[in-house]
Amino acid sequence: MSTSISADPSVARRGTVEVEAWATPAAHAPLEPLRIPRREPGPRDVSIEILYCGVCHSDIHQVRDEWGGSLFPLVPGHEIAGRVIDAGGDVRRFKPGDAVGVGCFVDSCRECEACLAGEEQYCARGVTPTYNGRERDGKTPTYGGYSAQITVNEDYVLRIPESLALDGAAPLLCAGITTYSPLRHFGVKAGDEVAIVGLGGLGHMGVKLARALGARVTVLSHSPRKRDDALRLGADDFLVTGPAASFEKNASRFDFILDTVSAAHDYNAYLNLLRRDRTMVLVGLPDPTPLSAGALIGGRRRLSGSAIGGIRETQEMLDFCAEHGVVSDIEVIPIQKINEAYERTLASDVRYRFVIDNRSLDDAGSENR
């Protein structure tokens, strides 16, 4: 049997309830059952039964403290889909039974230029992350979606259209908005030639969303094995990026490049695939990569970056996905398979996102198999 780890003593304080979760007690330790505190809803809070939670690669980075500063015990998960079970007296947008989601953050300063513009992801004082962070009081830890419930201020809760399956919609709260935001911000439109670099959890959403916007989509991948999947997902073309000839033949071809790869690679080669005055956007987080000014100057090209999206834009994305029937390609697992899922993610053995069925948390004490 897996042994539960100890929660913060504040779990028993007035105004909180205990819920089942899975957490890691220290960097590189396996995830295992833990009971955590969730606050009872205040006047503007929404309490959510978490039915599904996507597994993002950033969960693995933070569980293993690869980015530094992880707070333990750590309950990951920021691709949350579920239903409202309770709402505070001043909540007007949600009621019990509503299908809702929570993404990568649960609060922000609400006062800076970015927040006032509805782009809370760039909050000047920093957002409150859904997990591995602290509430605005600077003390209370945040715990994520590998848990039975979460309580969030209604301003940071998303409505999931009923036409979207909740399991397939869960990854939209990170992978979906991470790719949708740059496509919309940089004005990708019908008929544009768009390249998606990489075909993983982010890349496959980039293909679906760019295609739904009416673009002609080409997947660029080092792996020929992904050709069939790329075409099945809606790509019009597929290029293997190993041979130098691929870059030479396709120079100045694309109107927009969305680079989803987190491994080090040569930005300069990809920039030369852009037409004049066009943009390549990074949404992956690779190690530092040399950048040649010539690759930018030669065609007045732009290299930019993008991080998730604000609440307004995330809701827009969910509505867009409902209109166009877009969800993530997923493999649903019980929470007891999460440590195995991490290893399979690192081995690229998932097409294309693991999603936890949180109903399996009822079996919290089962063998971690």
- pLDDT of 5 above 70: no
**Residue scoring higher pLDDT (297 or 368):** 297
Q: How far apart are alpha carbons 174 and 330 in whole angstroms?
A: 14
- pLDDT of 202 above 50: yes
Residue spans per domain, the chain: 9-174+328-363, 176-305
Based on its alpha-carbon atoms, the radius of gyration of the chain, rounded to whole angstroms, reads 21
Summarised one tens digit per residue, pLDDT across range 78-137 is 999 999 999 999 999 999 999 999 999 999 999 999 999 999 999 999 999 999 999 999
Q: What is the mean pLDDT of residues 157-174?
A: 98
pLDDT at 144: 98
- pLDDT of 369 above 60: no
Residue pair 80/50 in contact by the 8 Å Cβ criterion: yes
Nearest to 104 by CA among 122, 92, 86: 122
Q: What is the CATH number of domain 176-305?
A: 3.40.50.720
Q: Write the DSSP symbol of residue 64.
A: T
Summarised one tens digit per residue, pLDDT across range 258-281 is 999 998 899 999 999 999 999 999
3-state secondary structure of 205: helix
pLDDT at 9: 41
- pLDDT of 1 above 50: no
9-174+328-363 is classed CATH 3.90.180.10: yes
Could you give the percent of the chain with pLDDT greater than 90? 89
Of all residues in the chain, what percent are helix, strand and coil, respectively (each to 5)? Answer: 30, 25, 45
pLDDT averaged over every residue in the chain: 93
Summarised one tens digit per residue, pLDDT across range 268-327 is 999 999 999 999 999 998 888 889 999 999 999 999 999 999 999 999 999 999 999 999
What is the identity of the amino acid at 31? Answer: L
Nearest to 103 by CA among 71, 131, 79, 136: 79
352 contacts: CB under 8 Å, gap ≥ 6: 199, 200, 201, 203, 204, 205, 328, 329, 330
- Against a cut of 0.85, is the pTM above it? yes
